[in-house]
Chain A
């Protein structure tokens, strides 16, 4: 079981550009959550997807959008990148059937220059 996999692991973008980050949940998990972790801070909840719908959303602007596919994998898209979007983006998967234990990916390090 590969656990939660994220790609890419590192990337550098320029201000104003758009980025797409990808996440494959742990096998058997149907819920995917995305978090942003700035350097030296705890992760902040961006949004959560379940059954291809955004179920909950944190305090992030509309520049942050996402998608969940029928195979439960998910994408996080960020438009009009700002320097302040530089962070580690973490994906976490879970499932009620699996007792709500949460599994995290290794994260995608985004640097905006």
Chain B
């Protein structure tokens, strides 16, 4: 069974803290996505990774293919970072057919 596990499920941080969200998956993948979902429902794609590390502003995403694990880091967190962060994977090269984790709800307090 293909599964995507995220941890933690909920995370509360103080403004300025360094945040790490973890994602693990069970079998080989073609790509891993980190997504952000705000309460209104819309999802924004943050990163798509197949190897290594990517950085965009205060966000950093890493993936370890051998360990089947990825992390999303947020440096100098801010209340506007509060959202649900979702890890999703493509198995077997299926473009757009994503298997999603259940998400990590992040709340950053001022």
Contact = CB atoms under 8 A, between A and B. Distances in A.
Interface in B28-46: 31, 33, 35, 40-45
A48 B76 CA distance: 38
A105 B42 contact: yes
Contacts, number: 70
A111 to B, nearest CB: 13
A25 B63 CA distance: 29
A2 B42 CA distance: 14
- Size bracket, chain B contacts: 20 to 34
Interface SS, A side: strand
17 contacts: A31-B95, A32-B96, A37-B41, A42-B88, A43-B43, A48-B96, A92-B43, A93-B96, A94-B96, A96-B95, A100-B48, A100-B95, A104-B44, A104-B45, A105-B42, A106-B40, A109-B41
